[in-house]
Amino acid sequence: MSATGFLYDERYLEHLSGEGHPESPARLTKTVEFLEKQAWFKELHSLTPRHAEEEWLVSTHSMDYLNRARKACEDGYSYLDTPDVGISERSFDAALLAAGGALELGDKLIKGDIKNGFALLRPPGHHAETEFAMGFCLINNIAVLARYLQKRHGLEKICILDWDVHHGNGTQHTFEADPSVLFVSLHQFPFYPGTGSAWETGTGKGEGATLNCPMRGGSADTDYENAFRTVILPKVDSFKPDAVLISAGFDAHYSDPLANINLSTEFYGWMTERMLEAADKHAGGKLLSLLEGGYNLDYLPRCIALHLQKLAGVPVIKEIA
């Protein structure tokens, strides 16, 4: 049986957001350090990213924006568009590798080299708009991947589940008029970036293909489970996707410093299991997840490890709450 893919590259560390910025290289180095201590980690199928090709980037971003982002990094600007998108000279190259890592996962999945996969990448992507960087994000990795699976590999219907604590405004806006992409988001609300109300359900032909589940601050496992069972899973079942993609932010964890949702580590395993079941039921098991947020350097590695264990079918003896 094909293995679970794990994609990572040290070049992701070359993206520097600025001193004290929560989206730091340590998010990845601490995670890799933790994963390498796990006996099962060596059984994963290790993958290396490539630079995303321009033809796929312009499926979700304008050429003007891409040129502007590249030049801002090359010219040594400290941020792009908003002060929270800290950049350095190597940031655009890292962003190309992040998007290209997603594409590499897609290729290996369709080829059958992996049964599912996770990309430990940065910079994250789900806030990036067609023409604008925001929320630590330069290129919308999950959106580029969705279009790639459709245009390069011929899949028709893609489900994107975004469980990052912040609403994926960039992903929603990319697909809100497109009925072929179901975008589902659970996120703290009201909260940054201000979008993601329940009434935002898509526009035009895409009406009904956006599902927002805004969660109050203080929400916990039972609140999220209720949203899954009563709204999300029935919606995914009715949509019948050809692939399931996860914007896997781990900042809804109770320990995270940037938000106020109280999910346990264990619950990330529960959500992973439910989406694996949906992928098995409708998409021949095709599921890929990409790292978004998650800023507690002690618990981010543990949440990712549990997510990977569930993807790989590794028995979990003890889960860390």
Give 72's contacts (C-beta < 8 A, 6+ positions apart). 80, 87, 92
Core vs surface per residue 32-54: b (16+ CB within 10 A) or e = bebbeeeeebeebbebebebbee
Average pLDDT, integer, range 7-11: 98
Average pLDDT, integer, range 42-68: 98
- Tell me the one-letter amino acid at 74: E
Residue 2 has pLDDT above 90, yes or no: no
Average pLDDT of the residues of the chain: 97
Its pTM stands at: 0.97
Banded model confidence at residue 310, pLDDT cuts 50, 70, 90? very high
Average pLDDT, integer, range 156-166: 98
- Percentage, residues of the chain above pLDDT 90: 97
In tens, the pLDDT along 288-297 reads 999 999 999 9
Average pLDDT, integer, range 146-170: 98
Start-to-end Cα distance in the chain: 31
In tens, the pLDDT along 64-103 reads 999 999 999 999 999 999 999 999 999 999 999 999 999 9
| SS (HEC) of 94-106 | HHHHHHHHHHHHH
Q: Determine which one of 15, 127, 167, 282 is catalytic.
A: 127
Q: Tell me, what's the pLDDT at 56?
A: 98
Banded model confidence at residue 317, pLDDT cuts 50, 70, 90? confident
In tens, the pLDDT along 226-276 reads 999 999 999 999 999 999 999 999 999 999 999 999 999 999 999 999 999
Residue 1 has pLDDT above 50, yes or no: no
Query: Is 127 an annotated catalytic residue?
Result: yes
Q: Looking at the DSSP assignment, which residues form a beta bridge with residue 158?
A: 181, 243
* Strand, coil or helix: 184: strand
For the chain, the structural domain boundaries read 3-312
Residue 219 has pLDDT above 70, yes or no: yes
Closest CA to 103 of 138, 68, 70, 59: 59
What superfamily would CATH give domain 3-312?
A: Histone deacetylase domain (3.40.800.20)
- Does the CA dihedral 40-104-173-231 come out positive or negative? negative
> CB of 207 within 8 A of CB of 251?
no
In tens, the pLDDT along 130-146 reads 999 999 999 999 999 99
> Strand 3-7 relative to strand 114-119: parallel, antiparallel, unpaired?
parallel
Average pLDDT, integer, range 210-227: 98
Q: Tell me, what's the pLDDT at 321?
A: 46
Residue 190 has pLDDT above 60, yes or no: yes
Q: Looking at the DSSP assignment, which residues form a beta bridge with residue 160?
A: 183, 245
